[in-house]
Structure 1
Amino acid sequence: MATRQAIVSIFIFLVFNIFLLVVCHAAKPSLEAKVSALNQFSTNNKGVVELDSDLYDEFVAKPRNYSMIILLTAMEPQINCQPCKEFDPEFRLVAKSWQSSRNEHSRLYFGILDFKKGREVYAKLNLNNAPTMFYFPPTTGPYAKEISEPNRYEFNRRGFSAEGFASYLSGHVGIQVPVKRPINFFAIFVSIFVILGTLAAIKLLYPFIKKVFQNRNTWAAISLVIILMMISGHMWNHIRGPPYVLQNNGQISYIASGFSNQLGMESQIVAMMYRR
C-alpha cells in the first residue's frame, strides 16, 4: 500500500513538473519566434523596431542569438530634447542602410524606445538623460560574445553622425555597416550654380583683377599681413588652439600670464600695436 502511494506521489510530481515546463515554454517565446518578430517589425518600418517596455524586456532577455542596438530617446515636443531630434534621422539612416544590404549571416536589429512608451525601462535603468544607446551582443550561436553585457554608446566621444555610429557598430559586429545617404540634388545644383557664377564673375572682372594682382602695393599689403600674423603668434594659436580670452575673478583677461602661454586675442593685440 505504501509502495503504491509512493508511486502515485512520484507520478503526480512528474506530471506537475512537466506541466510547469510546458507553461513556461509557452509563456516564453522561442529564439526563432523572437527573430521572426524582429524581422517582421524591421521590414515593416525601414529597418527600425519600435519598442515599448514589454517588447524591450522580451528582446533583450537572454538567450539571444542576434545582436541588437537600442536607442532610448525622448521625441515628445514638450520634452524638447534637441540631441534626440538631431540623432534620430542618423540612427534611422544607418538602420535603413543596413536593411538594404544586410548580411544574412549576421543578425543585427535596430530598436527605438521612446520615453513615452518606456517609462518603466528608464526607471529600471536609472536613466535621467536622453538619448542613450546600448548594444546587446548575442549570447548564443556562432556569433556569441564572451562578454554578454550591453555596451553603452559614448555620444561625447563618437558624436551624433551616422558615420560615427556605423563605425562603432562595425567594430562590435565584425561586419562593415554601411551608410547610404540619399543624393542631395539641391546641394549639387547649388554647387554647380556657384562654380559657374564664380567663373563668369572672374571672366567679367579679369581686367580689373589683373591690374590688382600686378600692383606692387597689393603684394606689399599681403606680405605685411602675413608677417604680422607670424610675429604675433598666429601660428602658435593655430597649433595649440588656446582660448580666445579668459575670465578670472569676474574680469576678462586678454593677456596670458606666465611663459610659453598666450591667448587668441593677445596675438591680435600685438599685431595691431606693432610698429616697425
Structure 2
Amino acid sequence: KKDRIMVKYILVVTFLLAIFSLCSCKTKQDLLDEKVKQLTEWSNRRTVIQMNSNKYSTYVKSKPRNYSMIVMFTALDPKRGCSVCREANDEFTILANSYRFSPAYTSSLFFAVVDFDEGSEVFQSLGLNSAPAFMHFPPKGKRKGADTYDIQRLGFHADNLAKWMAERTEVVVRIFRPPNYTGTVVLVLLFSLAGGLLYVRRNSLEFFYNKTFWSILSIFIVLAMTSGQMWNHIRGPPYYHRNPQNGAIHYIHGSSQGQLVAETHIIMLIHAAIVGGFILLNEAHQPKVDISKRRIMAIGGLVLVAFFLSLLMSIFRQKYQGYPYSFLLR
C-alpha cells in the first residue's frame, strides 16, 4: 500500500513539474516576443535605438534573446570633449538606415546607442574607457574578441562598419548615403568667383602667368596628397587616440596599418618645413643676393632640412618597427 502511495506521489509531482515546465517555456517565449515587438516598434520610429542602463540590461544583456544587437557606445555631450563622436554617430546612423531599407532587413538584427551620460554603469561593466566604440552582441553564446570593432585600425566609416557587421552576422548591406550637395554648391561658387575675378581683371591678367602663384598652389596640393588626406577621406579615422589605460592622448598612430587625422596634419607641416628648407638652399645659390643673406639662407635651409628630415625618419621608425635608419633623432 505504501508503494502505491509513493508511486502516485511521484506521478503527481512529475505531472506538476511537466506543467510548470510548459508554463515556464511559454512565459519565456512570450517574453521574447514582447522584446522583439518592442524593439521593432522603436526601430520603426528611429533606426538607431536610444538606450540607457535599464534598457541595455533588458534588451541586450538579459536572456532570452534570438536577435543580434550592434551597439555604439559614445559620449555626444559637448562637455565630454569627444571630437569624433558626432562623426561616428552620423556614420553609424547611415549604416542603420541602409540596413532598415535594404532587402536583408529582418527583426533578427537591431542597432542601438548607449551614451555615457545615460549609461555610465554599462561602460564600467564592459571596461570601456574611451568612446566611440562598437560592439556586436550575438543571439547565442558569449561575445568573442572579433565582436568588438577595431576602430583604431579601421576607422568609423560606414562601409567599414558594414564589412565588419557582415563578418559577425552574415548580413550583407549596401551603404546608401543621403545626397549631399555641399560639394557641388562650393564648386559652383568657386568657379563663379574665379570667373568673376577673371572678368574684372580681364585687362590685366599678368597674375595668371605668375610662376610664384602656381608654384605655391602646386606645393600645397602635393603636400595635401602626400600627407594622407585622401586616406582620411576614405577611412574616416579619429583625430587622435586616447589610451584607455592611462588616458594619455596620442597624435601618431602606433601601427603602420593606420593613421590619425592629427598625424596627417603633423606630417604635412614637416613636409612643408623640408620644402621650405630646400627653397632657402636654392635661393642661397643665387648670385644676385647679398653674400651675408645667402649665408643665413643656406644655414637656415640646412637646419630645416636636417632637423625635420630627422623628425620624419623618427616617426617612420616609431610606426614601422625594425626600420634600421635614423638621423640626429631616434
Q: TM-score range by the shorter chain?
A: 0.5 to 0.7
Match of 1:73 in 2: 74
Q: Distance in 2 between matches of 1:49 and 1:58?
A: 13
Q: Distance in 1 between matches of 2:52 and 2:74?
A: 12
Q: Rate the CA distance shift 1:25–1:119 in 2: closer, same or farther, 3 A.
A: farther
Q: Rate the CA distance shift 1:11–1:129 in 2: closer, same or farther, 3 A.
A: farther
Give the conservation status (yes or no) of the 8 Å contact 2:53–2:120: yes
Match of 2:188 in 1: 192
Q: Rate the CA distance shift 1:125–1:17 in 2: closer, same or farther, 3 A.
A: farther
Count residues in correspondence: 234
Q: Which has the higher contact order (CA 8 A, sep 6+)?
A: 1
Match of 2:98 in 1: 97
Match of 1:273 in 2: 281
User: Is 1:4 the equivalent of 2:4?
Assistant: yes
Give the conservation status (yes or no) of the 8 Å contact 1:73–1:113: yes
Match of 1:56 in 2: 56
User: Going by fraction, where is helix more abundant, 1 or 2?
Assistant: 2
Comparing 168-177 with 111-120, which one deviates more in the overlay?
168-177
Match of 2:264 in 1: none
The normalised TM-score by structure 1 is 0.65
Give the conservation status (yes or no) of the 8 Å contact 1:67–1:138: yes
Q: Distance in 1 between matches of 2:207 and 2:125?
A: 73
Q: Rate the CA distance shift 1:199–1:125 in 2: closer, same or farther, 3 A.
A: same
Gaps of 5+ in 2: 229-269, 287-330
Give the conservation status (yes or no) of the 8 Å contact 2:104–2:173: no
In structure 2, what residue type is equivalent to 1:271? I
Matched residue SS, 1:82: coil
Comparing 34-43 with 69-78, which one deviates more in the overlay?
69-78
Q: Distance in 1 between matches of 2:114 and 2:65?
A: 19
Match of 1:162 in 2: 158
Gaps of 5+ in 1: 140-145, 241-262
In the TM superposition, what is the alpha-carbon distance from 1:122 to its structure 2 partner?
2.4
Give the conservation status (yes or no) of the 8 Å contact 1:138–1:148: no
In structure 2, what residue type is equivalent to 1:67? S
Q: Distance in 2 between matches of 1:16 and 1:147?
A: 30
In structure 1, what residue type is equivalent to 2:276? Q
Give the conservation status (yes or no) of the 8 Å contact 1:68–1:110: yes
Structural RMSD (CA): 3.9
Matches within 5 A, 1:1-276: 1-14=1-14, 15-16=16-17, 18-19=19-20, 22-23=23-24, 25-26=26-27, 29=30, 31-45=32-46, 47-60=47-60, 61=62, 64-76=65-77, 78-104=79-105, 107-139=108-140, 149=144, 151-209=147-205, 213=209, 238=226, 264=271, 265-274=273-282, 275=285
The normalised TM-score by structure 2 is 0.56
Give the conservation status (yes or no) of the 8 Å contact 2:74–2:133: yes
In the TM superposition, what is the alpha-carbon distance from 1:190 to its structure 2 partner?
3.4
Q: Rate the CA distance shift 1:201–1:54 in 2: closer, same or farther, 3 A.
A: same
The Cα offsets for residues 171-210 of structure 1, whole Å up to 9 and x where unpaired, read as 4444542333333345533322221232333344355336
Matched residue SS, 1:135: strand
In the TM superposition, what is the alpha-carbon distance from 1:64 to its structure 2 partner?
4.8
Q: Rate the CA distance shift 1:147–1:102 in 2: closer, same or farther, 3 A.
A: farther
Q: Rate the CA distance shift 1:202–1:93 in 2: closer, same or farther, 3 A.
A: same
